[in-house]
């Protein structure tokens, strides 16, 4: 589904933009159809930039991105609009992802309206999506400030699924949520991924969460992929020193989706 080759994303900094930062530095990886690839690394290592670059929300400086056997790196913005419904992203903070002036029904209906869905079909589809993510119809007329963080993330997920995408990037989708609801959202994402046959890039700084969610794991450090393997390979026999540090830290952390043993 996704084939990335020597991808680079560079930003210019300084008063005269003489200095450059290689946020993504020669990344190559692939994601099979129906697979979840976990991308793990410390904050600031380039994970989010890589995700945005794959969707061309940030333009790559070099390299290629193939989506379903099509090189999208050099497509025009008009050509990308035809593909974007198939590629969606869940951002970190659900509260800032939603327009505070729009109701839940309006937020979920917006991508359907923009995609040209018949007006009379939208209300039924909105109700189906709301039910799919575990919310009741009484939430339709509420605004984001009237909902909890977990409920808002469910609304975001409903909106992401509105156009029936094939590929989803989940960028730390539970990092802004209370620990008590993180497990619920993680389970929902995994269940929907399996039910709908989605391909997923799951981004997190938490190796234990990534292990729980992923079929394979890529470890990122300073803009580069330093190690790739199955969850068991990464967790039980890491080879790179950076990965070993992440594993050591993760083993001492309490899982948000598992009760601590007494």
Superfamily of domain 35-59+86-251 in CATH is P-loop containing nucleotide triphosphate hydrolases (3.40.50.300)
pLDDT digits (tens, 9 = 90+) for 208-227: 888 889 999 999 998 999 99
What pLDDT does residue 256 have?
Answer: 47
Helix axes 149-161, 104-114, angle to 10 degrees: 20
In this model, does residue 259 exceed pLDDT 60?
no
What percent of the chain shows pLDDT beyond 70?
95
What pLDDT does residue 262 have?
Answer: 38
Q: Which two three-digit tokens encode residue 233? A: 């390979």
- Tell me the C-alpha distance between 206 and 39, whole Å: 10
| Residues 51/171, Cβ–Cβ less than 8 Å | yes
pLDDT band at 253 (very low <50, low <70, confident <90, very high): low
- Tell me the C-alpha distance between 51 and 170, whole Å: 9
Q: What integer best gives the mean pLDDT of the chain?
A: 88
DSSP 42: -
Q: Which residue has the higher pLDDT, 149 or 62?
A: 62
Q: Mean pLDDT throughout 33-62?
A: 92
pLDDT band at 261 (very low <50, low <70, confident <90, very high): very low
Name the pTM for this structure.
Answer: 0.88
pLDDT digits (tens, 9 = 90+) for 92-138: 888 888 999 999 999 999 999 988 889 999 999 999 999 999 899 99
């Amino acid at each position: 589904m996704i084939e990335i080759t020597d991808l680079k994303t560079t930003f210019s900094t300084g008063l005269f933009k003489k200095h450059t930062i290689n946020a993504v530095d020669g990344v190559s990886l692939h994601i099979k159809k129906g697979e979840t690839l976990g991308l793990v690394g410390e904050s600031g290592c380039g994970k989010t930039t890589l995700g945005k670059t794959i969707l061309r929300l940030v333009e790559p400086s070099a390299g290629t991105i193939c989506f379903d056997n099509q090189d999208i790196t050099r497509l025009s913005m008009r050509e990308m609009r035809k593909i974007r419904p198939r590629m969606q992203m869940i951002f970190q903070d659900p509260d800032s992802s939603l327009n505070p002036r729009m109701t839940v029904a309006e937020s979920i209906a917006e991508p359907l309206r923009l995609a040209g869905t018949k007006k009379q079909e939208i209300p039924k589809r909105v109700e189906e999506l709301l039910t799919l993510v575990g919310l009741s119809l009484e939430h339709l007329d509420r605004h984001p400030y009237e909902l909890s963080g977990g409920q808002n993330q469910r609304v975001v997920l409903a909106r992401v699924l509105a156009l029936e995408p094939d590929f989803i990037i989940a960028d730390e989708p539970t990092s802004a949520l209370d620990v008590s609801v993180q497990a619920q959202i993680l389970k929902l994402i995994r269940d929907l991924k399996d039910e709908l046959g989605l391909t997923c890039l799951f981004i997190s700084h938490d190796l234990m969460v990534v292990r729980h969610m992923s079929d394979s794991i890529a470890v990122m450090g300073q803009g580069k992929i330093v190690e790739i393997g199955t969850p068991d390979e990464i967790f039980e026999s890491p080879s790179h020193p950076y990965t070993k540090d992440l594993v050591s830290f993760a083993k001492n952390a309490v899982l948000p989706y598992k009760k601590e043993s007494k």
